Amino acid sequence: MRDLAVVVAKADAEARIEALEREGVYDDDRQVRERDADRVELPVTDEPTHTAHERVVEQRDPDLRSPDLNARLRSRGWADDEIERAPSSWAVLGTVVLASFDDCPRKGEVGEALLELHREADTVLDRGGVEGEHRQPNVSVVAGAGDTETIHTEHGTRYAMDLDRVMFAPGNQAERARMGDVAGDGERVLDMFAGIGYFAVPMARAGASVTAVEKNPDSFRYLAQNAQLNDVAGSLDCVLGDCREVDAEADRVVMGYYDALGGGPVHDGDDPGYLAAALDAVVSGGTLHVHAAVPEPELWERPVSRLREGCAAAGRAVEIEAKRRVKSHSEGVAHVVLDARVD
């Protein structure tokens, strides 16, 4: 049996692997092999018929799938108590591996092991928190080339970003995909906190007409770039500024900021007026998608009551149609979303 592989651009590797897996021809027994500075070889059991690729090659002496991270660290002489302090999970975003190292010893060794496991990547970053009004990420290079700019592909959407300058939450993947599914063709959408286009781009790709507002200049630059990258610049209007100052009429409003309802656990305080702006924009019968970070003991009373109170103050009726837990925000705090119909 011949060991075949398809040659693709590094930037497209993640999306092509997903496509090959859907086609049923991706070979899990072999590793991704670097071909040159810009391309990789993805192992396949047969030539794909639907997945785009440059060409098919036959590999000699293929690289079999390597042991997992723990096994690699043991082979480097790590003790069990040290391995327990190594990252237990990580995300591969384009050519960057993103992980939280916390009190992990010998981070560089872990980083090199992660690069061996993920040949499509060339940089490993230690992810800290985010800071300030613009949600500036705090990252440091652990291993590799140190290039923090990359293109990450998810469910067909391509996100250009610099992980040293803009925030990207891997744990929000399902919610990003879902927003692309719920958006209707020709629907008017206001994304109040667009970032690099996390929700705006999938919704525009689904046929919606999206007004995406972002006040962080770095994020805005990538938002505009991602509109071009995904061929939706004609249906995605990028606005640099404060979403409370944007005049829009929308069938659907996305409030993707944790403290959009005010008084949240991230920055406790008064209502910042974002809900009032959303209610000014959403038409009768329209939908709000309200994100919140909520202490576990206050689920779901806190976000629901704040939303109901704000709608009542604006003279709008509201019906909660769905409540979703996206992920853990921090210890004892959940990231949740409310889907609400407003009349």
18 is in an annotated binding site: no
Cα-based torsion angle of the residue sequence 137, 142, 146, 150 in order, rounded to the nearest 10 degrees: -50
Residue 65, marked binder: no
Residue 294, helix vs strand vs coil: strand
Helix axes 274-281, 301-313, angle to 10 degrees: 60
> How far does CA 192 lie from the centroid of its chain?
17
Percent helix, strand and coil across the chain, each to the nearest 5: 30, 35, 40
3-state secondary structure of 305: helix
Tell me the pairing of strands 4-9 and 91-93.
Answer: unpaired
41/61 Cα distance (integer angstroms):
13
CB-CB contact of 264 with 293 (8 Å) = yes
Helical spans, DSSP H, in 120-210: 173-182, 200-205
Question: Has 250 been labeled as part of a binding site?
Answer: no
54 to 10, 36, 57, 234: CA distances (angstroms): 12, 13, 10, 29
Binding residues for S-adenosyl-L-methionine, as ranges, are 169, 176, 214
Name the binding residues.
169, 176, 214
